[in-house]
Chains A and B, each alone.
Chain A
Amino acid sequence: MDYLIIIISAIFVNNIVLAQFLGICPFIGVSSKVETSAGMAGAVTFVMVIATIVTYLLQKYVLEAFGIAFMQTITFILVIAALVQLVEIILKKVSPTLYQALGIFLPLITTNCAVLGVAILAVQKDYNLMESVVFAVSNAIGFGLALIVFAGLREQMDLVNIPKGMKGVPIAFLVAGLLALAFMGFAGLV
């Protein structure tokens, strides 16, 4: 039951992009096509889950054990940067097709605040390891959902007549606002 609450809350109610404003850069930047959005979502899921597990273990057995919790920010960002590199190298060797699909998105993920944000949030919320993993997976799904829905909307927007000054990024923000408004409808769920 607890897991279900974490899942629904992370995907719909507190959607990481539309309610918590994490990962806005890729949300606005890469979301012009559904296909690239799906690729980005896949890469983020991958890194987010692994990063959350590793940072959780580090927090528990290194930072807290030695009483140096204030080093959290530095450690976490280094872990994530190293992980992204590692994932890139491993993928290249193990699954070249997957690497082809995710390749260009991987370096961008280091500066995706959603990954660092979820890692820190999982620690702040005092989740255990299993809950942290569920939390990371659901947040990644929430990220992918928002990204892909938004990309679908933006593909449609190419076909409609938009006032000249609003073209491009401004109209994207307005659409994102309406999408966030729609997601607010989930507010009473949990």
Chain B
Amino acid sequence: MSQWKNFSKGFFKENAVFVLFLGLCPTLGVTTSAINGMGMGLATTFVLVMSNLVVSLVKSQIPDKVRIPSFIVIIASFVTMVELLMQAYVPALFEQLGLFIPLIVVNCIVLGRAEAFASKNNVFSSIIDGFGMGLGFAMALTILGGVREILGSGTIFGLNLHLFPLDADGNPTTMIVFVLAPGAFIALGYLIVLINKINKKSAK
């Protein structure tokens, strides 16, 4: 497999969210706006790349029986790093994402890639794989966050689009349900239908 294919598979063909349905908790939980989705996606990408790197470096040293706990410790260390870094440099975003930052540890994508890819491939391929899957995940979260932000708040990346008519008090009459919990499920459902359609077309 060429490195380009290895990198690009994470975006459409094996997109973690839209095709494999992995990492759904943060996907639904943090995507009330495009910027939140992107922040979460990039934080996960960092953990994914670093854990893939370390796992592929030490794969021959770890006995087969304890490999899952070892992977979890490696992943948890990088998650703690991200937690501390974000708390120091982007406190506002850290506040917004809240509980979902430590929960990167149980994101099935990270452990899944460590187990399915990094423990079997060389360091360079593993890093590329981490970047591809991570950025694909970030893309999915940004798209979902963008859709929800546009419909629910009438803005994108905080930029007002003036899409919705104003009510008597001068507030835009947006579809608030999309920034609330139900909207997350509904928006993701329709997005999956759309991505399936695109994937089917490109396969033909």
Contact = CB atoms under 8 A, between A and B. Distances in A.
Interface of A: 18-25, 28-29, 70-74, 76-78, 81, 110-113, 116-117, 120-121, 124, 165-166, 169-174, 176-178, 180-181, 183-184
Interface string B15-56: 000000110111111000000000000000000000000000
Interface extent on B, as a size class? 35 or more
Contacts, number: 117
Contact of B189 (A71, A76, A81, A177): A177
B80 A71 contact: yes
29 contacts: A21-B25, A21-B26, A22-B29, A24-B28, A73-B105, A74-B73, A77-B105, A78-B69, A78-B72, A81-B69, A111-B108, A116-B103, A116-B106, A120-B99, A120-B103, A165-B197, A166-B189, A169-B21, A169-B189, A170-B189, A170-B193, A170-B196, A174-B189, A177-B182, A177-B184, A177-B186, A178-B182, A178-B186, A180-B184
Interface in B133-189: 177, 180-186, 188-189
Secondary structure class of chain A's binding surface, majority of residues: helix
Nearest to A24: B24
Contacts of B177: 181
Given A28-B24, A177-B185, A184-B180, A73 B193 contact: no
Contacts of B22: 25
A169 B77 CA distance: 33
B79 A73 contact: yes
A19 B190 CA distance: 19
A98 B129 CA distance: 41
B186 A173 contact: yes
Nearest to B184: A21
A126 to B, nearest CB: 15
A171 B189 contact: yes
B83 interface: yes
Nearest to B195: A170
B93 interface: no
B84 interface: yes
Given A25-B22, A117-B103, 14 more contacts: A23-B25, A24-B27, A28-B21, A28-B24, A73-B80, A116-B106, A121-B99, A170-B190, A173-B186, A173-B189, A177-B189, A181-B177, A181-B182, A184-B182
Contacts of B184: 21, 177, 180
B108 A177 contact: no
Interface of B: 21-22, 24-29, 68-69, 72-73, 76-77, 79-80, 83-84, 99, 102-103, 105-108, 111, 177, 180-186, 188-190, 192-193, 196-197
Contacts of A77: 72, 76, 105-106
A120 B105 CA distance: 13
Contacts of B69: 78, 81
A112 B79 CA distance: 17
B121 to A, nearest CB: 22
Given A25-B108, A72-B102, A74-B77, A169 B192 contact: yes
A71 B105 CA distance: 13
A147 to B, nearest CB: 14
B3 to A, nearest CB: 29
B16 to A, nearest CB: 12
A90 B187 CA distance: 43
